Structure 1
């Protein structure tokens, strides 16, 4: 995996917040907003605070939203994160080459209570 001097996308915002639904269901959600994403870019994971987490990608209009969820220790959600080292980074594949983008700054938002329906 390599770092590049030019990227096939632009990061417009990187945020995270704690969430909770009850005493045991809690965790952290990480969201990265992107624009100008080149065709064929595949985002597969990100590293946030030494945890490598799979991501979900959504496209709305010209914005691509990359989201990862890190469940709390007592959560019933499957924890698919693995320990990693190094920089906070978004890992992607483009033109057959795996690479990463270092995310130097995340904005922390207030905790959110999630109501179950």
Structure 2
């Protein structure tokens, strides 16, 4: 939420342009946003890699961290959405769950058969 503001043009003009636009607060804001700083602790090796990348790319370390974190959070949200969808599919009966051990046993058998076909002895 922000300020509800009324605008009033100044009467002083130079070259047809107003010199001043005055904002008049009509109501107080419900919430005033504040700038916060977050301290993040990273391992020295990670800091070294970050500093090296900043040096090579010409970008600030803060920008690199912001981009990396934003990308990571986007990826986590996408994975969460996919997992929620898969869970909903199983719960609704649209798909049937499979036994993990049975799946990997079958996968190993098919792999062994393919290897035997390629390298008959």
**What range is the shorter-chain TM-score in?**
under 0.3
Give me the TM-score of the superposition, normalised by structure 1.
0.15
Greater percentage in helix: 2
- Structure 1 or 2, whichever has the larger Rg, is 2
